[in-house]
Amino acid sequence: MEETVKNKGGRPKITPHKCHKCNYTTKITTSLKKHYLSMHATEEEKSEEYKYYCSYCKVGFMTISASNKHNSTTKHQRLSQID
């Protein structure tokens, strides 16, 4: 959880966000979410959170361009032909 404290100059200092599963910390909320999704989330959580999710490769993307780039990779094409 974000907590405001004063630094030496009296300005608010933001304490880092901490992952509840490991020792990862960051000042950026979205970085914590990305960390959680890539390191700790179940496949179900990933498929719900990512706008574009590849069920063959078990990876998610927030943009269509990243998803399209992934879909053109050899790894994806190989895995998608197995089914």
Same domain assignment for residues 18 and 8: yes
Same domain assignment for residues 26 and 53: no
Same domain assignment for residues 66 and 36: no
Rounded distance between C-alpha atoms, residue 17 and residue 33, angstroms? 10
Same domain assignment for residues 56 and 36: no
Average pLDDT, integer, range 37-50: 93
pLDDT of residue 41 exceeding 90: yes
DSSP state of 56: T
pTM of the model: 0.63
Same domain assignment for residues 29 and 48: no
Residues 6+ apart with CB under 8 A from 70: 54, 57, 59, 61, 76
* Residue 42 CB neighbours (<10 A): 8
What pLDDT, on the 0 to 100 scale, is given for residue 1? 47
